[in-house]
Structure 1
Amino acid sequence: MSKFTSPAFDPMDVSPRIGSGYPEPFQQGCEKREKRRLGEHGGLVNFGVNLTTLPPGQGSAIRHWHTMQDEFIFVVSGELTLITDSGEQVLTAGMCAAFPKNVPDGHCLVNRSGAPASYLEIGDRTPGDVGHYPDVDLVADGKTGTYVFTRKDGTPY
C-alpha cells in the first residue's frame, strides 16, 4: 500500500500488464515485458505514460511507427538497444528518444544486457492512428478507436 495520497502515487503500486496485445504469431520477444500504465492510473486522458520494464532478452515491441501519434521514451535504468531504420544504438539511464508521428522509421527497444532495464514511454492518444510494422505482416488499425491487428492486406488474424 502506498504512503502517498492522490495525486501522488508510487509507480510500483500500479499493477503491470505482462506481455503484449499482438496476435499469437508475434508474441515471442515481448511476452515478459512489464508495462505499468501510470498516466491511466493518474486519470490522464489526453496522453499516456507507461513505465515499462524489459527483462534481459525482451523487447518493447515489434519495430513500428505511427501515423497519428507521437512517442517519446526516457530511459530510467539499465541499458537498452534502440533499433531504427538507421541501425542500432545503445541508450542508458538518462537518455531519451523521440518518434514524431507519420515518420516511417520503424523503432523498438531491446534489452541485450544481463539486467532488467526500465523506461518511461509517453505518447498522445490522437484518434485514427495506424501502427505500421515494416518487418512483419502486421498493421495496428486504430481508426475505430480501438486497435485491431490485421495483415497488411487487411485480413484479420
Structure 2
Amino acid sequence: MKKPALDPATVEGRSGSIYPAPFQAAVAGRVKRRLGDALGLSDFGVNLVELAPGAASALRHWHSAEDEFIHVLSGELTLVTDAGEQVLSAGMCAGFPKNSGDGHCLVNRTDVPASYLEIGTRAPDTDRVVYPDVDLLVEPGRRIVHRDGSPY
C-alpha cells in the first residue's frame, strides 16, 4: 500500500510503558501500533491497541490537556471510571474530555485478546496526567514524579 493508505499489520507493535517499575505489570500484555506516527500525523495520535487476557490499557488516569477517544474493534473490555465499571464490546466507544478529573482505564477480563482504536490530542508539553489510585503523576514534558513532586 502507498500513503496515505496503510495496512496496520505493517506497523511495529510496541509493548512496555513509561511507568516506573512498580507499575509496569498492569500493562504487561498491551501492544500498541502507532498508526498516527506511521502516517505522519502531528496534531493527534492514533494507536491500534491489543490487550491480552488480564492486561490493562493503563493505570486509571485522566489528562489535563489531552482529549481521548476509544473505539472497541474486537473482544470485550471493562471500562473502569470513577462511576464504576461497564463492559464495552466490539462497536462501542467512549470519550474522555481533557481536565475532567474522571480517571479511566480499560481492562481485558476475558480469556481472549481484545483490540481498540485509541485517538487523542498530542499536548505533551502542557499535559499533566493524574493517577488517582497510585502515587504517580506525569508532569508536562513527560516528567514522572510522585504526588509530592519528587522524581521517581
Tell me which interval the TM-score lies in, with the shorter structure as reference length. over 0.9
1:137 to 132, 135, 138: 135
Q: Distance in 2 between matches of 1:6 and 1:105?
A: 37
Q: Distance in 1 between matches of 2:150 and 2:45?
A: 29
1:62 to 55, 59, 63: 59
> Do residues 152 (structure 1) and 147 (structure 2) align?
yes
Structure 1 residues 54-93: aligned runs within 5 Å: 54-93=51-90
Q: What residue identity is the alignment partner of 2:130?
A: H
Structure 1 residues 1-157: aligned runs within 5 Å: 4-126=1-123, 127-142=125-140, 146-157=141-152
1:115-149, Cα deviation, whole Å (9 max, x unpaired): 0000000001134000000000000112xxx3111
Q: Distance in 2 between matches of 1:7 and 1:60?
A: 28
Give TM-score, length-normalised by structure 1: 0.94
1:20 positional shift? 1.4
Q: Is the 8 A contact 1:58 1:111 kept in 2?
A: yes
Q: Is the 8 A contact 1:20 1:33 kept in 2?
A: no
Structure 1 gap ranges (5+):
none
Matched-pair identity in %: 60
**What RMSD in Å do the two structures reach over aligned CA positions?**
0.7
Give TM-score, length-normalised by structure 2: 0.97
1:19 positional shift? 1.9
